[in-house]
Structure 1
Amino acid sequence: MAHSAKPISSPVPDAWYPTLAVFMLAIGLVVTASFFIYEATSPRKYRSLAKELVTGTVASVFLGFGSLFLLLASGVYV
């Protein structure tokens, strides 16, 4: 009753890694820039903590996955 093991494969094709890295890093950098612009231009008493947390989280997720796909595209398998 030995089951043959299936090799682990990525749910994303390897050819998509560079494209995903570029797009996710670009989106993450744009969201980060919008966060900094929001912080620099809005007065302190009109800032929203919820908006800051959401913007920071979205930027972090896109930059994190973009970095992951950049490493995968360059051959560093993490």
Structure 2
Amino acid sequence: MTAEVLVCPLCGEANGCSYAAGRPHSECWCNQAVFPKGVFDPIPAEQRRKSCICEACLDTYKKKAEQNKEPHS
């Protein structure tokens, strides 16, 4: 296993992936997370499914998506 699997492909920081770190997948933060449609779109195709995004990038995506839903005055 290479160190890249422990890095978020969006921000380059640690992704906190328990499975990639050698622990059971059941311990990973992503088991309780909801990944909205489109969250992986910014990842270049050749990098998809190579490493997990981090919780911070998931939260940022969700916040931006929610802001885009709000009506503008």
* TM-score, scaled to structure 2: 0.31
- Structure (1 or 2) with the larger CA radius of gyration: 1
> Which of the two has greater helix per residue?
1
Larger RCO (CA under 8 A, 6+ residues apart): 1
* TM-score, scaled to structure 1: 0.30
